[in-house]
Structure 1
């Protein structure tokens, strides 16, 4: 899609960034606000398996993978606004099921429905951004959105901890409903539809097959999507096991949300840095530099963990992660923008398939890593080393096909 065919943004860049960040941050809120409560939820719902408790986070990404496959074609056929409406309604149903659950099985079912629904706002928001921006401009907007978006992972565990102090964990889901309502009302009052009816693609199996085949055989799209899945898989292993790492292995108690916020702040700092420089240096240079640095980080983390027999001092472990997460923060916005760049004519389906590929790849990666996490952080260090390296290989492959 050429720059001249892009829809002209209707909102100022500041309001647009804040709105899109809030819309997409429902995903982060639904994950990170749960972290302080996971052990309590497991105890209340009769689960004594840490692996099953970790599924409260991991299974969310499975639901998102299938939700994105549904809402991608839906967004291209019915428009961005209707996609957000349907997604928020499904999200609300899943949230109520979680709130009223009396067993871990019902909780996990609710989380699947929640994740399926939240895929609607996420896909529609990505498509709205792609409708109005492309290339480095999109990477710049995505980086600024990540700055606002990252406030949610920083604040959500603190909010979840506060809810646990004053109320029960069930009211964390009340919070989700309130934020979803605010995001929905703001979007429908302020953001016009960015996909006119004459540009919509009516759903047919033939069109779906042709579009999907194009995306799955586009080497640059697939290479960057696989790279994103590898990087996020290693990060998801840390994310879903973060309470086990900091509250069980390191015994940090109520300091856990503060440590989590500090590490999330590194990703926010990277996103701000990327947004400021991507127009000047280009997303490819920044991305491939960050990939190389991520390998250096993972090897340093591996050396530190082995030097201290699997449990380095908390300050050393957190300090190393803080540096490494900066490079991972540079990767998140750029890899997604680079994968989306060739897909302007099918932004909804493109965002869906890219998101699904990265999710379906990252969840097994995270589950494999976390299965070995018991009383040391060897699995986390090894996971970052292996999958940062694989991500670099995938991105190099995508770049070589792009240049040929």
Structure 2
């Protein structure tokens, strides 16, 4: 799963340089180099999820890494925004295989709060990558060029594939495999859609992810352009990633003590409250001192750390009998929601971070309404 984070975050310090190389006209267009990989991450599971229920988990991971490597070379040789976007979408489709199948593997082996606990530890690794990825990207950029970032990604994906081949056993028994067919996929989609719990937490994931995607795509613009902190940006990004990782690490213990639903409720309320507070304090759009912005981001991301793994665990709980397909469908729905949300909110982040926090507040408020509906239905 961490290769996806590497492919996204290592590129952040180089967005403006890549934009110049491929001829982007507006600096906001560079956000597409981040956002469009999520489009691939959302669409790809529809192919790889059902195939994993038929062929097993491990072969699908290998297929995804091969596609990712091919797409990386498309990005390396891109000479236009359109070609770069194509490469990034294909990168996302390829990485959707290890990203989705990792969740299916966990669901094959665990359930309930214990599944949430394992998801927390896995996500810690996933989140720790953003701590080092921008620093790695900046190091390669300073000593080589922006294409070198893609070469590093290819090398690491090969090493991860080799480790996965040697260390991870197959978790889907041959007796439990089903032949892929359209009726099976159709029935699986219906099964997911009729589960209120699965759909509710998937929709919340979509809104929360959409808010987070905006930060990922606009963080370089906020800190490097608005605050003129080009050299400091990788360290700021790494520090904020640590705040998410700390919460995810704590979640591994707290989820067994308080339960998944309580942690999600607490975190969504905190996320909404912090976003509203910033929107009130800095209404009008003038950026406060950078230390204040970093403080608010850190508090928000600490709340996010209790959401990602827990939301996926609760969404997957009723559909463990079709874990591969369910992981694909829920991932597709949440990502297809998140991409247009992030593009729309990101278009307002031009000379101030204020629209970002307004977007956070709206997304978390809608998520709280969905959570209230789920609790009443229960």
- Secondary structure at 1:127 match in 2: helix
Query: Contact conserved, 2:120 with 2:252, CA < 8 A, in 1?
Result: yes
- CA shift at 1:200, angstroms? 0.6
> Which residue of structure 2 lines up, in the alignment, with residue 232 of structure 1?
209
Within the candidate set 93, 97, 101, 2:78 is matched to 101
CA distance in 2, matches of 1:245, 1:148: 26
Instruction: Give yes or no for the alignment of 1:266 onto 2:273.
Output: no
Q: 1:309 Cα shift? A: 4.2
| 2:322 matches 1:352 | no
Q: 1:341 aligns with which of 306, 310, 317?
A: 317
Map 1:322-333 → 2, pairs under 5 A: 322-333=298-309
For 2:342, the equivalent position in structure 1 comes to 366
Q: After TM superposition, where is structure 1 displaced by more than 4 Å over at least 4 residues in a row?
A: none
| Mapping of residues 198-277 of structure 1, within 5 Å | 198-277=175-254
Alpha-carbon shift at residue 373 of structure 1 (Å): 1.4
Alignment of 1:55-66 (within 5 A): 55-66=32-43
Q: Is 1:177 aligned to residue 154 of structure 2?
A: yes
Contact 1:301 1:321 in 2 (8 A): no
Q: CA deviation at 1:395?
A: 2.2
Question: Given the two structures, how large is their TM-score scaled by the length of structure 1?
Answer: 0.92
Q: What residue is the counterpart of 2:28 in the other structure?
A: 51
Alignment check: 8 A CA contact 2:101 2:324 kept: yes
- Unaligned stretches of 5+ in structure 1? 1-23
TM-score in terms of structure 2 length: 0.98
Task: Tell me how far apart the structure 2 counterparts of residues 309 and 202 of structure 1 sit (CA, whole Å).
Answer: 55
**More displaced 10-residue stretch of structure 1: 155-164 or 386-395:** 386-395
Aligned residues of 2:285 and 2:353 also touching (Cα < 8 A): no
Alignment match, 2:113? 136
Question: Alpha-carbon deviations, 1:114-156, whole Å to 9, x = none?
Answer: 1111111111111111111111001001111122221101110
Shift of residue 240, structure 1, vs aligned partner: 0.3
Unaligned runs of 5+ in 2: none
- Give the C-alpha shift of residue 285 in structure 1: 0.9
Deviation at 1:50, TM superposition (A): 2.1
Tell me how far 1:400 sits from its aligned partner. Answer: 2.9
CA apart distance, 1:305: 2.5
How many pairs were matched up?
378
Q: Contact conserved, 1:305 with 1:381, CA < 8 A, in 2?
A: no
